[in-house]
Amino acid sequence: MSMLRVVNPATGTVVRDLPCDTPASVDGKVAAAREALPAWRERSLGERVAIIRRFRDMLVERADQLALVLTTETGKPISQARGEIRATPGRLDFFLENVETVIAPKLMRREPMGSGVPGTGALEETVTYEPLGVVANISAWNYPYFVGSNVFAPALLAGNAVVYKPSEHATLTGLAIAGLLHEAGVPEAIFTTAVGRGDVGAALIDAGVDGVFFTGSYSTGVKVATSAAHHLIPTQLELGGKDPVYVADDVDPAAVASALADGAFYNNGQSCCAVERIYVHRSVFMAFRTAFVEAINGFSMGDPAKTDTYLGPLTREEQLAVLQAQVDDAVSKGATVLAGGRRADREGWYFEPTILSNVTHDMKVMREETFGPVIGIQEVSDDQEAAKLMADTPYGLTAGVYSADRARAAAVLAQLPTGSSYWNCCDRVSPVLPWTGRGHSGLGSTLSHEGIRAFVTPRAWHMRAP
């Protein structure tokens, strides 16, 4: 039997070995979910809402113990793990409060009776929304509570069954989520986990599901979309980013530097919407640079289980080589290392927080997703140059502008094809707004009303009275 080894990134020690699913067991889980679906759909929306509300309350009660599991398998600092779990109920509340309105039948048009001859009776045109069926939720490890619940909560509320494939790097968390959902009242066959690596995710797409909701990298997203296309099933992809921020010349560079340091280095830069590129107006560049380096030097790196640790290890060992290659490539092309630049000299998968200046778009660090604690800062001469460089990417997840002038910021942001635009903020997600990417950042939306409607399919009713 194939096994999945869970390793603590802070120490390299083995936490658990878990048996993996096989294509046959995944098929069995999808078939069991399909069998259980009619009974789940027969429950009222109010019952499903009560179940997810119980799950929400359990997250609050058990945040500390769940955070420890997340920290142990991903290396996420414990204060950030608790922060993620404690913020998830806010997202769930949005779904709980909005699902009924969003999926309620909508009467679009009513025409009175015509002349009275057959075929001219009063007409009603109505839309109803029906659950998709059994959906695959293939998830990432960096924010498993956020990106997982963005999918499984509205999916379950809308009357679907979910087969959840946690990332191999957050499987214990995936199993913990399943346990809580079952305890809250979701039938076991209606929410099941598929444990394993990418091959298990691939098998799930081919197991007869009615929709695929994927969070992960662009390269895997392409594979997922290609496989799903053969089944012609709805497919949603929440992918990576190369998110830029522009610092204009009318702001306090020190205050902005501190906000951007957090936006770039929170969770070790392992966020889809982490700030990945910074462009700074020439007239505040030096002041910004100095303050940014100072902010990074203030970050404490260490044991992620300690509450005062801000930077833990990377979750994936192989990312150490990716980061080093980006730094080496930049330095070989003329970049200056202002801080860090290499693997930290300690046990575990730690990389020093790294700032590069004198960067250009010939360097990988300004073009490829970094997904780690490495950032390039580039000087620009005006808003136009900033907008041109910010748009120079195949990704389109988020972009931000720091400026005292809203119209000026909006003029830059309007030129960029991105799913989210930020003025004087960054690295943030709101449950009331669609979370969506363009280009290589994905297809479809989670959160907001769009992210509920994604889990239902419309039916058009043309109803004419005799």
Q: Which residues bind ligand NDP (CB under 6 A)?
A: 138-143, 147, 165, 167-169, 197-198, 201-202, 215-217, 220, 223-224, 238-241, 272, 369, 371, 397, 435, 437, 442
CB nearer ligand NDP, residue 220 or residue 393: 220
- Is residue 91 within 8 A of residue 146, CB to CB? The reply is yes
CA nearest to 333, candidates 354, 375, 362: 362
Q: How many CA atoms lie within 13 A of 333 on its CB side?
A: 17
Q: Is 238 a catalytic residue?
A: yes
Pairing of strands 374-380, 277-281: parallel
CB nearer ligand NDP, residue 136 or residue 401: 136
CB nearer ligand NDP, residue 187 or residue 442: 442
Q: Cα 31 to the chain's mean position, in Å?
A: 28
CB nearer ligand NDP, residue 125 or residue 450: 450
- Is residue 99 within 8 A of residue 332, CB to CB? The reply is no
Determine the Cα–Cα distance for residues 66 and 85; give it in Å rounded to an integer. Answer: 8
Angle in degrees, 0-180, between the axes of helices 78-103 and 45-61, rounded to the nearest 10 = 170
Helices (H) and strands (E) in the chain, counts: 14, 22
14: phi then psi, degrees, rounded to nearest 5: -80, 130
Q: For residue 338, what are the contacts with CB-CB under 8 A and spacing of at least 6?
A: 289, 293, 355, 356, 357, 377
Shortest separation between residue 246's beta carbon and ligand NDP, angstroms: 21
Annotated catalytic residue: which of 73, 84, 238, 368?
238
CA nearest to 197, candidates 13, 23, 10, 15: 23
CB nearer ligand NDP, residue 141 or residue 455: 141
CB nearer ligand NDP, residue 95 or residue 143: 143
Residue 268's CB: how many other CB atoms inside 10 A?
30
Q: Is 261 helix (H, G, I), strand (E, B) or coil?
A: helix
Nearest position to ligand NDP, beta carbon: 201
DSSP 216: S
For every residue of 430-457, DSSP letters joined together read -TTS-EE-EETTEESEESTTHHHHTTEE
Shortest separation between residue 124's beta carbon and ligand NDP, angstroms: 39
CB nearer ligand NDP, residue 140 or residue 296: 140
How far, in Å, are 29, 95, 442 from residue 215 at the CA level?
Answer: 21, 19, 9
Determine the Cα–Cα distance for residues 28 and 24; give it in Å rounded to an integer. Answer: 6
Shortest separation between residue 202's beta carbon and ligand NDP, angstroms: 4
What amino acid occupies position 108?
M
Shortest separation between residue 338's beta carbon and ligand NDP, angstroms: 25
Shortest separation between residue 369's beta carbon and ligand NDP, angstroms: 6
CB nearer ligand NDP, residue 51 or residue 374: 374
- Is residue 247 within 8 A of residue 284, CB to CB? The reply is yes
Shortest separation between residue 223's beta carbon and ligand NDP, angstroms: 4
Pairing of strands 161-165, 235-238: unpaired
How far, in Å, are 265, 271, 278, 293, 376 from residue 261 at the CA level?
Answer: 6, 13, 10, 9, 12
CB nearer ligand NDP, residue 194 or residue 363: 194
Shortest separation between residue 8's beta carbon and ligand NDP, angstroms: 17
The residues with which 238 forms a beta bridge, in sequence order, are 215, 442
Annotated catalytic residue: which of 73, 84, 168, 272?
272
Is residue 374 within a helix (H) or strand (E), and if so which, with residue range?
A: strand 374-380
Q: Is 20 a catalytic residue?
A: no
The burial of 126, by beta-carbon neighbours within 10 Å (0-12 exposed, 13-18 middle, 19 or more buried), is given as: middle
Catalytic center residues: 238, 272
